Amino acid sequence: MSIVGGISLNTPVYRLVEEFRTDPSKIFNYLDMIYKNIDRVESKVKAFITIVPQETLYSYVEALLKEQKERISSMRLLGVPIAVKDNISTKGIRTTCASRMLESYIPPYNATVIERIIREGGLIIGKTNMDEFAMGSTTETSAFFPTRNPWDLSRVPGGSSGGSAAALVAGEAPLALGSDTGGSIRNPAAFCGIYGLKPTYGLVSRYGLIAYASSMDQIGPMARNTIDLALMLSVIAGHDPHDSTSLPAPPKDYVMALKELDSKEPKLKIGIIKELFEVAEEEVRKVALKAVDMLCSYHECTTISLPYRTEVVAAYYIIAMAEASSNLARFDGVRYGLKVSFENRGWRDVYTEVRTKGFGYEVKKRIALGTYVLSVGYRDMYYIRALKFRRILKETFDSIFKNVDAVISPTMPILPPRLGEFAKDPIKMYMADINTVIANLIGAPAISIPVGFYNNLPIAVQLMSKPLTEDILLYLSLQLERRTGLKDLIAEVP
């Protein structure tokens, strides 16, 4: 891997920023490395839907260094190129949700998280591929093309934030944003061997995030090491009056909080969720249990039982599909969405054509199921029962977190599937979410941490804790990172 001016593609972001503050000209050297690598690997990985041209970013950096000269020393993301999932609004940069419905949409405003990144000197390098409207676990339901896993191009990178994860581990960007409704940050983080955090619901503003299931959607950071993850969270977290679900939480420096915990090295209580290890494939379970042993050699561990398995997945999909059917109703070709001819045509014909051409199969299926569970005669049977179960699950974990500081499980119970594998068995795709959907249903933070490989395929564990305890998850992540040595990984794309 080439090194220019003491920096390389896998130099951690926190070190990059130090180098850029000392010598801002290194930003251009680094961008040159990034774009050369994109030219080399992107045709194979296909992580991006839209890439900002190199000359555009160069011009932006030149203006930034000239106009913000007095602020450069305090910018936490100075000169750092960031890949952004394509369902987060970026002013002047196409935002498609990987759907034909929004193929030509260019937002007139930035999401709050984008504004916060720009304020800290971050650079938006492009918009990453995803499952259409974030509905999927493989990035294969994208209307444009599937993204491939850089560790094995015959396999999926996970989803729905698969493009963001693939861009990181392919060396196309050092930081990324994803969104997580049922595991869409943690799933691809696990399959690609990077770090991904789903924050507490309401900690990060959803303003500018194109909604899938509003009561569970959350934007979060993705990185190649724990400190970079904490840095990105510090930038994007905090109250936003534009988002009615935003928590009144003051800004917090998670890097400092992490370093403070790390210096004290508190011993914590960790719950091992027995059932979530039992559902995992043997290869995944073995590697994940080694990570558990690493933590339990220092912390106090106890086995806990979760009395629900299939109910968790069923409740999640009922609620998510119901909310999706409501959220996506706005895409009618009149207010939003694909534009078609209205001449001498009735509203029904126009509406049918827009949604037939604009939405892919998976999105149509989820809208149909969501409409069904909300319909008269079935709402109480499905949707209301799912909401009641959600409350029971929240109360169960409230009780669990009175006795432990965090719980651990494999992030994903399976290895990265081959391209097309889930198309043959969609139920297997839905059931693979069993470990990740819990955090979204109860609004808790959860993190995916790479802990090993099997046949060159990454395996990760998930840690989950009570709301607003992201610093605990980052502390445990840093401990595992040191014990495994798995950080700043970049796959060799052939």
CA distance 243 to 382: 29
Mean pLDDT of 308-327: 95
Asked whether 92 and 106 are in contact (CB, 8 A), the reply is yes
Structure tokens at 157: 């990178």
Q: Is 280 helix (H, G, I), strand (E, B) or coil?
A: coil
Instruction: Give the Cα-Cα-Cα angle 359, 364, 370 (nearest 5 degrees).
Output: 135
Buried b (16+ CB within 10 A) or exposed e, 459-469: bbbbbbbbbbb
The model's confidence at residue 320, banded by pLDDT at 50, 70 and 90, is: very high
CA distance 301 to 476: 13
CA distance 202 to 248: 9
Q: What stretch of H or E contains 195?
A: strand 195-198
List 184, 205, 325, 448, catalytic entry? 184
- DSSP at 263: H
Task: Find where tokens 């998976």 sit.
Answer: 362
In sequence order, what are the residues at sequence separation of 6 or more whose Cβ sits closer than 8 angstroms to the Cβ of residue 334? 350
Cα dihedral 119, 120, 124, 127 sign? negative
- Smallest CA-to-CA distance from 155 within 179, 139, 167 is with 139
Residue 254's pLDDT is what? 98
No. of H helices and E strands in the chain? 18, 13
CA distance 294 to 298: 8
Residue 423's pLDDT is what? 81
Residue 1's pLDDT is what? 58
pLDDT of 281 > 90? The answer is: yes
Q: Is the CATH number of domain 3-267+416-484 3.40.50.2020?
A: no
CA distance 347 to 77: 48
The Cβ-side half-sphere exposure at 411, using a 13 Å CA radius, reads 35
Examine the residue annotation and report whether 160 is marked as an active-site residue of this protein.
Answer: yes
CA distance 72 to 466: 36
Asked whether 90 and 70 are in contact (CB, 8 A), the reply is no
Mean pLDDT of 250-277: 97
pLDDT of 280 > 70? The answer is: yes
Residue 284's pLDDT is what? 98
Q: Is 4 helix (H, G, I), strand (E, B) or coil?
A: strand
Residue 475's pLDDT is what? 98
Mean pLDDT of 132-155: 98
In sequence order, what are the residues at sequence separation of 6 or more whose Cβ sits closer than 8 angstroms to the Cβ of residue 117? 77, 82, 124, 177, 235, 236
pLDDT of 249 > 90? The answer is: no
Residue 287's pLDDT is what? 98
pLDDT of 4 > 80? The answer is: no
Examine the residue annotation and report whether 466 is marked as an active-site residue of this protein.
Answer: no
Supply φ then ψ for residue 176, to 5 degrees: -150, 160
User: Roughly how many angstroms between the first and final C-alpha of the chain, as a whole number?
Assistant: 14
CA distance 145 to 424: 18
The CA dihedral of 120, 125, 126, 130, to the nearest 10 degrees, is -70
Residue 428's pLDDT is what? 83
Residues of the chain with pLDDT > 90: what percent? 91
pLDDT of 439 > 90? The answer is: yes
Structure tokens at 189: 């983080």
CA distance 163 to 132: 12
| Listed range (14-18, 65-69, 200-204, 414-418) with the worst mean pLDDT | 65-69
- Smallest CA-to-CA distance from 476 within 195, 183, 166 is with 195
Mean pLDDT of 344-369: 93
The model's confidence at residue 220, banded by pLDDT at 50, 70 and 90, is: very high
List 137, 160, 164, 325, catalytic entry? 160
Residue 341's pLDDT is what? 85
* Of 334 and 195, more confident: 195
The tens digit of pLDDT for each residue in 467-477 reads 999 999 999 99
The tens digit of pLDDT for each residue in 30-39 reads 999 999 999 9
Using CB atoms within 10 A of its CB, is residue 217 exposed (0-12), middle (13-18) or buried (19+)? Answer: buried
List 85, 127, 466, 487, catalytic entry? 85
In sequence order, what are the residues at sequence separation of 6 or more whose Cβ sits closer than 8 angstroms to the Cβ of residue 75? 17, 21, 68, 120, 121
- DSSP at 132: G
Residue 105's pLDDT is what? 96
Residue 335's pLDDT is what? 83
Structure tokens at 393: 């699950």
Asked whether 237 and 246 are in contact (CB, 8 A), the reply is no
pTM of the model: 0.97
The tens digit of pLDDT for each residue in 175-194 reads 999 999 999 999 999 999 99
Which residue(s) pair with 176 in the sheet? Answer: 83, 222
DSSP string covering 443-489: T--EEEEEEEEETTEEEEEEEE-STT-HHHHHHHHHHHHHHH---S-
Asked whether 116 and 235 are in contact (CB, 8 A), the reply is yes
Using CB atoms within 10 A of its CB, is residue 403 exposed (0-12), middle (13-18) or buried (19+)? Answer: exposed
Residue 2's pLDDT is what? 64
Phi-psi region of 457 (alpha: psi -120 to 50; beta: other; left: phi over 0): beta
The model's confidence at residue 346, banded by pLDDT at 50, 70 and 90, is: confident
Structure tokens at 238: 């905090």
The tens digit of pLDDT for each residue in 58-117 reads 999 999 999 998 999 999 999 999 999 999 999 999 999 999 999 999 999 999 999 999
CA distance 259 to 23: 26
The per-residue pLDDT of the chain, averaged, comes to 96
Examine the residue annotation and report whether 85 is marked as an active-site residue of this protein.
Answer: yes
Supply φ then ψ for residue 64, to 5 degrees: -60, -50
Task: Find where tokens 């895409």 sit.
Answer: 331
pLDDT of 296 > 70? The answer is: yes
